[in-house]
Amino acid sequence: MYVAVKGGERAIDNAHAWLAVERRGDPAVPELSVAQIREQMTLAVNRVMAEGSLYDPDLAALAIKQSRGDLIEAVFLIRAYRTTLPRLAASQPVDTGAMAVDRRISATFKDLPGGQVLGPTFDYTHRLLDFALMAEGASAVPPTPIPAPPGEGGAPRSGNGSDAGAAVPPSPPVGEGWGGGTPVNSGEEPARVPHVTSFLNRDGLIEPTATFEATPSDLTREPMELPASRALRLQAITRADEGFILGLAYSTQRGYGRTHAFVGELRIGRVAVEVEIPELGFAVEIGEIELTECETVNQFKGSKTEPPQFTRGYGLVFGQSERKAISMSLVDRSLRWKELGEDDSGAPAQDEEFVLYHCDNIQATGFLEHIKLPHYVDFQSELELIRRLRAEAMALREAAE
């Protein structure tokens, strides 16, 4: 039970005014614009869009500015705004096979059609502070195109340093330049980049691609119910707090869930979004979004109904969010133990209720932070209870003496 505080309205107004001053910082320093945040803090923007379930880089950047860089608060702002928007239509499933890839790597096959496209990544940096970035106006060095190997057209194959896996059947690589493929908005038809797991699927070495119901439940409109379908679990995990999902994924790698995974493929790029127009009888493209997709290849010893084969874990996230996508795919696979006929090891990442009811950072934040609000009446009742119990205990002690 909450009680009002006398004079609280004036105090709250002053707190908001002080917050605005702190948000602005030193007036002598140029103010950070929404455009600067959108263009130069893209990974933070991507995280807010993913966990806020709204793809709009401008609004995500505005939320980051308004929240002083508190990404969970920014996600809260985006979700709150999202509830005011009308639902105009449902888009068609995006075709990630037609993705215009900026980054595409595989830890299972060294040579694959289209090549290993390293793209923009921290993976090969030395993690040393670059003090040149403190110099105003410092410009980045543009990448240098790498020529394709002799006798091969298209994009170069930039190795990722891994020799794991066998070679795939020869197929000409796609794309040009340094392996970026064809942009969705270039006016050209993007070249299809096949998924790596399709090569395993030819020989039946991996389970078939999952099929979901035509219209899965919408977690943003319907309350969570357990047991949840895989489609609903994936919705919950893609909206989940990145740190929480990362911790769960790490726990599976350390043995709490017995999920030993290889990154079959990780790809980042842009895909077209299409909406079917009933009056026209066909779908039209309304825009494009950036996605990160990860598919892991996991061991499976087989069951009474299924032969030994590899199984899949899947992750799909707004923007460039590869740590989240990989974590998501590991947790997805761990939660599938029941449908695959595996034993429950009691690991947290295998507990559907534990994962799905605790992964949402907005729900967690609300429940956590509400305890700092006034609980005067509740505390007074607890205080009176403790005093009464102490008095009874003292009376019993004195009677015993």
Residues 314 and 388 in one domain: no
Residues 50 and 104 in one domain: no
Q: How many alpha carbons lie under 13 Å from residue 71 in its C-beta half-sphere?
A: 17
Q: 104 in a domain, yes or no? A: yes
Q: 42 in a domain, yes or no? A: yes
pLDDT range class, residue 130, cuts 50, 70, 90 = confident
Q: How far are the Cα atoms of 99, 103, 117, 178, 302 from residue 185, in angstroms, in the given order? A: 12, 17, 20, 18, 44
Q: Which one of 102-106, 206-210, 339-343 scores highest in mean pLDDT?
A: 102-106
Residues 210 and 69 in one domain: no
Indicate the range of 88-92, 188-192, 195-199, 391-395 predicted with least confidence: 188-192
Residue 179's closest CA among 222, 147, 133, 211?
147
Residue 189 has pLDDT above 80, yes or no: no
Residues 71 and 164 in one domain: no
Tell which of 82, 104, 134 closes a domain.
Answer: 82
Tell which of 82, 108, 141 closes a domain.
Answer: 82
Q: How far are the Cα atoms of 129, 182, 237 from residue 98, in angstroms, in the given order? A: 37, 10, 24
Mean pLDDT of the chain: 83
pLDDT given at position 208: 78
- Per-residue pLDDT of 64-77, as tens digits, reads 999 999 999 999 99
Residue 349's closest CA among 341, 359, 339, 340?
359
Residues 285 and 246 in one domain: yes
Q: 56 in a domain, yes or no? A: yes
pLDDT range class, residue 260, cuts 50, 70, 90 = confident
Residues 293 and 315 in one domain: yes
- For residue 360 the two structure tokens come to 């949402």
Mean per-residue pLDDT for 47-75? 96
- Per-residue pLDDT of 161-170, as tens digits, reads 333 333 333 3
Residues 19 and 58 in one domain: yes
Indicate the range of 181-190, 363-372, 384-393 predicted with least confidence: 181-190
pLDDT given at position 400: 86
- For residue 292 the two structure tokens come to 């990160």
Q: 12 in a domain, yes or no? A: yes
Residues 238 and 111 in one domain: yes
Q: 368 in a domain, yes or no? A: no
Residues 219 and 268 in one domain: yes
Total tally of structural domains belonging to the chain: 3
Instruction: Kindly state the DSSP code that residue 167 receives in the 8-state scheme.
Output: P
Domain with 14, as residue range(s), is 8-82
Residues 167 and 49 in one domain: no
Check residues 3 and 285 and name the one with the higher pLDDT. Answer: 285
Q: 131 in a domain, yes or no? A: no
pLDDT given at position 133: 86
Q: Which one of 31-45, 170-184, 272-286, 365-379 scores highest in mean pLDDT?
A: 31-45
> CA-to-CA distance for 98 and 76, rounded, in angstroms?
33
Buried b (16+ CB within 10 A) or exposed e, 120-136: eeeeeeeeeeeeeeeee
Residue 99 has pLDDT above 70, yes or no: yes
pLDDT range class, residue 213, cuts 50, 70, 90 = low
Indicate the range of 65-74, 252-261, 311-320, 388-397 predicted with least confidence: 252-261
Residues 164 and 308 in one domain: yes
Q: What is the CA radius of gyration of the chain?
A: 26
245 burial (CB, 10 Å; 0-12 / 13-18 / 19+) is buried
Q: 294 in a domain, yes or no? A: yes
Residues 105 and 44 in one domain: no
**Ramachandran assignment for 22, one of left (phi > 0), alpha (psi -120 to 50 degrees), beta (any other):** alpha
> CA-to-CA distance for 295 and 106, rounded, in angstroms?
10
